[in-house]
Amino acid sequence: MTHLPTHAILCITAAALSAMLPAAAGARTEAVREFDGLTAYCSTVNTAELSPESLSRYGVEPGADRGLLTCQVRPARAGAGPATLAADVEAQVHGLGEPPRAVAMRETESDGYISYIGTYAANSRYPLEFTVTIDVADAGSVALEMTDHDPRP
């Protein structure tokens, strides 16, 4: 039996999850982390790259200076529970030489999937660093870190 390296499995998982998320179509940055039988997935995209349908669904205004952070929590095994799970999600973003700023995350539900979204200033010509903490009742918490190397469209 052939065993895939961990990084290959994570890439396959990220690709599969990003195909399921409506907002991930133009995702610039993604982070995936498994914990306690769950998979946490977060992505960023500049709102100027989103379709009018996606903008309307999430109640977000388009703009080249605005980014969208999207997070979901799913069972690690398909069919092991609901498609997505409720969670407490907190996020921070900071650019080069800037203090961390909170990204106000809110819960949305679309097509039976629970997502957590927040907007942030994406007008930096420098990379933006994100730290996202996801806490699922009775399952624990996980922190994800990711970098958007070019936040502008």
Digit-by-digit pLDDT tens for the chain (153 residues) are 444 444 433 333 343 334 344 434 445 789 999 998 899 999 999 999 999 998 988 889 888 899 999 999 998 877 666 789 999 999 999 998 889 999 999 999 988 889 999 999 988 888 999 999 999 998 889 999 999 987 776
User: If DSSP codes are grouped into helix, strand and coil, which group holds residue 130?
Assistant: strand
In the chain, domain spans = 6-148
Alpha-carbon distance of 72 to 19, in angstroms, equals 13
Q: Among 21, 46, 3, which Cα is nearest to 151's?
A: 46
User: If DSSP codes are grouped into helix, strand and coil, which group holds residue 2?
Assistant: coil
pTM: 0.78
**6-148: which CATH topology?**
Immunoglobulin-like (2.60.40)
* 57 CB-contact burial (10 Å; exposed 0-12 / middle 13-18 / buried 19+): middle
Place of tokens 């940055």: 29
